[in-house]
Chains A and B, each alone.
Chain A
Amino acid sequence: MIEFQNADVTYPGGFKALSNVSLTIEQGELVVIVGLSGAGKSTLLRAINGFVPITAGSVRVNGTEVRGAHEATLRELRSGIGMIFQTFNLVHRTTVLNNVLMGRLAKVPRWRSMLGLWPAADKEIAIQSLERVEIVEKTYIRASNLSGGQQQRVGIARALAQQPQVLLADEPVASLDPVTSHTVMRDLRRINRDLGITTIINLHFLDLARSYGKRLIGLRDGELVYDGDIADVDDETFRGIYGRALTPDDLKEGAEL
Chain B
Amino acid sequence: MTVPDLGIRPDAVKRPDDPLGPKLFRAAIFVAILVPAIWSATGLQIDWPSLNPFRWVTDWEITLQWSWPYLILVAIVGLTVYWLSKRLTWSAAAAAAVLVMPWLNIWNEDFFFFDIWNIVHRLAPPDLSAEAVQRALPKVMESIFIAWVGTMIGAFFSFPLAFLAAKNMTPPWVNTGIRQVLNAIRAVPELLVAMLLIPITGLGAWTGTMALGLHSIGTLGKLSSEVVEGIDGGPVEAVGAVGGGQVARIRFAVIPQVLPTIVAYWLYRFEINIRASAVLGVVGAGGIGAELVAQLKFRDFARAGTVLFLTVGAVLIVDTISARLRRRIISGEPEPSPLTNFLGRTWWQRGLALLGIGIVAGIVVFLLRQLQVDLSIL
Query: Which residues of A are interface residues toward B (Cβ below 8 A)?
Result: 49, 51, 71, 75-83, 85, 87-94, 98, 102-103, 105-106, 113-114, 127, 131, 134, 136-137, 139-140, 142, 144, 155, 158-159, 162, 179, 182-183, 186, 210-212, 253-254, 257
User: Which of B123-131, B168-176, B240-248, B283-291 forms contacts with chain A?
Assistant: B240-248
Known A-B contacts A87-B234, A105-B248, A257-B4; the reply to A93 vs B260 at CB < 8 A is yes
- In angstroms, Cα B154 to Cα A164, docked, is 43
Q: Chain A nearest CB: distance from B63 CB in Å?
A: 53
Output the nearest chain B residue to A103 by Cβ-Cβ distance. Answer: B242
Decide: A114 and B234 in contact? CB cutoff 8 A: no
1/0 contact string of B121-162 vs chain A (CB within 8 Å)? 000000000000000000000000000000000000000000
Partner of B1, one of A77, A92, A179, A211: A211
- In angstroms, Cα B13 to Cα A163, docked, is 22
Decide: B238 and A158 in contact? CB cutoff 8 A: yes
Decide: A79 and B235 in contact? CB cutoff 8 A: no
Decide: A211 and B235 in contact? CB cutoff 8 A: no
- Residues of the B chain whose Cβ atoms lie less than 8 Å from the Cβ of A182: 3-4, 6
Decide: B256 and A93 in contact? CB cutoff 8 A: yes
Output the nearest chain A residue to B10 by Cβ-Cβ distance. Answer: A134
Decide: B16 and A91 in contact? CB cutoff 8 A: no
Decide: B241 and A49 in contact? CB cutoff 8 A: yes
- In angstroms, Cα B239 to Cα A182, docked, is 27
Known contacts A82-B241, A91-B257; 9 additional CB pairs below 8 A are A51-B240, A77-B243, A80-B243, A83-B238, A91-B235, A102-B239, A136-B15, A158-B242, A183-B9
- Residues of the B chain whose Cβ atoms lie less than 8 Å from the Cβ of A139: 15-16
- Show 20 residue pairs from A and B whose CB-CB distance is below 8 angstroms, ordered by the A residue: A51-B240, A82-B242, A83-B241, A85-B234, A87-B234, A88-B234, A89-B235, A91-B235, A91-B252, A93-B257, A102-B239, A102-B252, A114-B251, A134-B9, A134-B11, A142-B332, A144-B332, A186-B3, A210-B1, A253-B1
B237 within 8 A of A: yes
Output the nearest chain B residue to A81 by Cβ-Cβ distance. Answer: B241
- Residues of the B chain whose Cβ atoms lie less than 8 Å from the Cβ of A91: 235, 252-253, 256-257
Give the number of residues in B that approach A within 8 Å (Cβ atoms). Answer: 37
Interface hits, B7-34 → A, CB 8 Å:
9-11, 13-19
- Residues of the B chain whose Cβ atoms lie less than 8 Å from the Cβ of A179: 6
Decide: B19 and A140 in contact? CB cutoff 8 A: yes
Output the nearest chain A residue to B9 by Cβ-Cβ distance. Answer: A134
Output the nearest chain A residue to B239 by Cβ-Cβ distance. Answer: A102
Output the nearest chain B residue to A94 by Cβ-Cβ distance. Answer: B256
Output the nearest chain A residue to B2 by Cβ-Cβ distance. Answer: A211
- Residues of the B chain whose Cβ atoms lie less than 8 Å from the Cβ of A158: 238, 242
Chain B interface SS verdict (over half): loop
- In angstroms, Cα B239 to Cα A155, docked, is 12
Output the nearest chain B residue to A95 by Cβ-Cβ distance. Answer: B22
- Residues of the B chain whose Cβ atoms lie less than 8 Å from the Cβ of A89: 234-235, 237-238
Decide: B242 and A79 in contact? CB cutoff 8 A: yes
Decide: A78 and B3 in contact? CB cutoff 8 A: no
Task: Pick from B14, B238, B241, B252 the residue with the most CB of A within 10 Å.
Answer: B241
- Residues of the A chain whose Cβ atoms lie less than 8 Å from the Cβ of B244: 75, 102, 105-106
Output the nearest chain A residue to B254 by Cβ-Cβ distance. Answer: A91
Task: Pick from A76, A94, A114, A211 the residue with the most CB of B within 10 Å.
Answer: A94
- Residues of the A chain whose Cβ atoms lie less than 8 Å from the Cβ of B240: 51, 78
Known A-B contacts A136-B15, A186-B3; the reply to A78 vs B242 at CB < 8 A is yes
Q: Chain A nearest CB: distance from B241 CB in Å?
A: 4
- In angstroms, Cα B247 to Cα A106, docked, is 12
Task: Pick from A77, A102, A131 the residue with the most CB of B within 10 Å.
Answer: A102
Output the nearest chain A residue to B3 by Cβ-Cβ distance. Answer: A211
Decide: A51 and B241 in contact? CB cutoff 8 A: yes
Q: Chain A nearest CB: distance from B327 CB in Å?
A: 14
- In angstroms, Cα B1 to Cα A210, docked, is 7
Output the nearest chain B residue to A142 by Cβ-Cβ distance. Answer: B332
The 3 residue pairs across chains A and B that have the minimum distance between CB atoms:
A79-B243, A89-B234, A106-B243
- Residues of the A chain whose Cβ atoms lie less than 8 Å from the Cβ of B242: 78-79, 82-83, 102-103, 105-106, 158-159, 162
Known A-B contacts A136-B16, A211-B1; the reply to A78 vs B241 at CB < 8 A is yes
- In angstroms, Cα B18 to Cα A219, docked, is 46
- In angstroms, Cα B256 to Cα A90, docked, is 11
Decide: A93 and B18 in contact? CB cutoff 8 A: no
1/0 contact string of B208-251 vs chain A (CB within 8 Å)? 00000000000000000000000010110111111111011001
- Residues of the A chain whose Cβ atoms lie less than 8 Å from the Cβ of B11: 134
Decide: A98 and B256 in contact? CB cutoff 8 A: yes
Q: Chain B nearest CB: distance from A179 CB in Å?
A: 7
Q: Chain B nearest CB: distance from A85 CB in Å?
A: 7
Partner of A137, one of B3, B6, B13: B13
- In angstroms, Cα B241 to Cα A103, docked, is 9
- Residues of the B chain whose Cβ atoms lie less than 8 Å from the Cβ of A82: 241-242
Output the nearest chain A residue to B251 by Cβ-Cβ distance. Answer: A114
- In angstroms, Cα B235 to Cα A31, docked, is 25
Q: Chain A nearest CB: distance from B260 CB in Å?
A: 6
- Residues of the A chain whose Cβ atoms lie less than 8 Å from the Cβ of B239: 102, 105
Decide: A140 and B16 in contact? CB cutoff 8 A: yes
Known A-B contacts A102-B242, A136-B16; the reply to A93 vs B332 at CB < 8 A is yes
- Residues of the B chain whose Cβ atoms lie less than 8 Å from the Cβ of A114: 247, 251
- In angstroms, Cα B241 to Cα A90, docked, is 12
- In angstroms, Cα B64 to Cα A209, docked, is 82
